Every structure is written in structure tokens, then in C-alpha cells.
Amino acid sequence: MNHRDTEKLTFELLETWSTFNHYAKEAQTFENPEDVHQARIRLRKLITFARLVDLTEEPVYLIWKRLMHAFGEVRDLDVQLEATSNKTEIDQLFANHVALQLQGKRSTLIETMHLLISNELDRSVRRFLAGPMTKRLKRMSEKELIHAAEKRYEKKREQFEKVQRKDGTKRVERMHELRLATKAYRYTVEYLRPYTHQPKSAVDRLKTTQTRLGHINDTYQRLERWRSFEVPSAYQEERLHQIKRLEDELRSALDQIEIAHG
């Protein structure tokens, strides 16, 4: 990338870090689940570019990964709780079960933030983005960066399609890997589109794929929580019914989804 475009992109990434800090601070009250979601998105974007330029051994990157994990566990449970119905007694029991897990993960997130987020981390991140990150970006063209993300996406797409209609855990694992690659590819194109001839439709197509894979992942996460949900014997039949319904829903969604080429 040329000097001017690299400076612009570095500024964008610094803004992304600042926005993360804003949402991370708001998230500590847990008044709005969207704060956790938005903080996690900003971390994902920063992690995406650190991976693109192969800076995954840097201390800042490792801290971002730890924060991502803690935010992710809360976000996953937020999604499950929001989708939980209270129509029946077993639904209410399940909602209480998820809410209890969420309470624990929120405590872990607070502890993780207090441990890792500090003025020193802020200075380290800014030095990292303005230093090693900027130097690596200058060595690669926009096309090379996009191609690297596209190559990983296409690899994961092909791996998923090979097992897409085969029952078992393998296609769920491949779906999850493809979902992460889709996010990384989308964020790469979004950030670099001002410096290339990439059409907005490319971002829209990836966003649609990401959303569909996200819905499938939510179904899988919900299924796994019902499978591990212990209930009194009087509710066992209803629990098994929920599991069967979610298994059918997941199987159908995996069979039918069509993944766009990069």
C-alpha cells in the first residue's frame, strides 16, 4: 500500500480500537446486550488485520484473542436468552438455566476486562498499530491483502461443501470455520474497498452469507445447550422433542444453504 493509503487505514484501525473501548466500557453495565456485540465486532476486525499481516505472536494480538473469547461467551448466551420462549414450563426452566450461565460468564468478562484493559494496553495497542502493523501494511498491496482473505475463504468454502450433505460433527466444524473466514473476508473488503475497485455488492454478498451462517450457528449452539440441559424426569419427553426439532432444523439449514464464491 502507498504511504497515504496506509496512513488512512492505520487511522481507521485506531478508530476501531477507540470504538472498542467505548463499547467495552458501556458493556460493563450489561444494560444493553448490543454493547457486548459491538465490542466483539471491533475486536474481530482488529484480529482480522493482525492475521492478514502475520502478527499473531505479538502480545497485543494475544490479549485481543483473550478478550474476544470472554466477550464471545457472553454474546453467545445473550443470543440464546433473547431467543428463548417462556410459553411452557420447560421453556422457563431452560431460560433460567441459560440466565444462570450468562451471569457466570458476565462475571468472567468483567474480571477479564479489569485484568487486561488498562492505560498501558491502550498505549501498547496504539504503538502496535502505528508501528509493526503499519510497516507490514506498507509491504503488501491492497490486492494482496484481499487475495489472502479470499484464498482462506475459498479454502474453507470448498472444505465445507465437501461434507455439506454428510451427517456428523465434521460439517458443523467446517461450517464454523467457514463462518469465521467469511467474517474475515468481509471485514477485509470493507476496510480496503475505498482503495480498490471492489464493488459494494461484494460486501453485501459476504454479509448475506455471514448472516445465514450465523443463524445456523445459533441453531447449533441452542441444540448443544438443550442436549446438556438436565431436567426432572417429568420434562424429559419435552426436552427430547426440543432436541429432535433443533436437529431437524439444523440438518435442513446445512443441507440447503448455498455459499457464494469469493
Q: Other CB atoms closer than 10 Å to residue 61's CB: what's the count?
A: 18
**What band does 260 get if pLDDT is binned at 50, 70 and 90?**
confident
The letter for the amino acid at 35 is D
- Average the pLDDT over each of 12-26, 45-59, 79-93 and give the range with the smallest value: 79-93
Residue 183: is its pLDDT beyond 90?
A: yes
| Average pLDDT of the chain, as a whole number | 95
Residue 97: is its pLDDT beyond 90?
A: yes
Residue 262: is its pLDDT beyond 80?
A: no
Residue 184 has a pLDDT of 97
Residue 85: is its pLDDT beyond 90?
A: no
Residue 167 has a pLDDT of 82
What digits encode the pLDDT tens for the residues 151-162?
999 999 999 999
Q: Where are the beta strands (DSSP E) in 5-65?
A: none
Residue 93 has a pLDDT of 95
Residue 165 has a pLDDT of 87
- Average the pLDDT over each of 16-25, 171-180, 185-194, 195-204 and give the range with the smallest value: 195-204
Cβ atoms of residues 8 and 46 within 8 Å: no
Residue 231 has a pLDDT of 94
Angstrom distance (rounded) from CA 253 to CA 155 = 21
- Average the pLDDT over each of 81-95, 117-131, 213-227 and give the range with the smallest value: 81-95
Q: Residue 123 — left, alpha, or beta (φ > 0 → left; ψ -120 to 50 → alpha)?
A: alpha
What cell was used for 38? 459491538
For residue 168, which phi and psi values (nearest 5 degrees)?
130, 175
What digits encode the pLDDT tens for the residues 18-51?
999 999 999 999 999 999 999 999 999 999 999 9
Residue 198 has a pLDDT of 85
DSSP structure class, residue 193: G
Angstrom distance (rounded) from CA 165 to CA 22 = 43
**What band does 225 get if pLDDT is binned at 50, 70 and 90?**
very high
Q: In the predicted model, what is the mean pLDDT of residues 186-193?
A: 96
66 vs 17, 105, 113, 190, CA distance in Å?
15, 14, 10, 25
Q: In the predicted model, what is the mean pLDDT of residues 224-246?
A: 96
Q: Tell how far CA 53 is from the center of its chain.
A: 19
**What band does 261 get if pLDDT is binned at 50, 70 and 90?**
confident
96 vs 91, 221, 238, CA distance in Å?
9, 17, 16
Burial readout 3-39 (b: 16 or more C-beta within 10 A, e: otherwise): eebbeebbebbbebbeebeebbebbeebeebebbbbb
Nearest to 21 by CA among 77, 56, 64: 64
Residue 226 has a pLDDT of 96
Percent of the chain with pLDDT over 90: 92
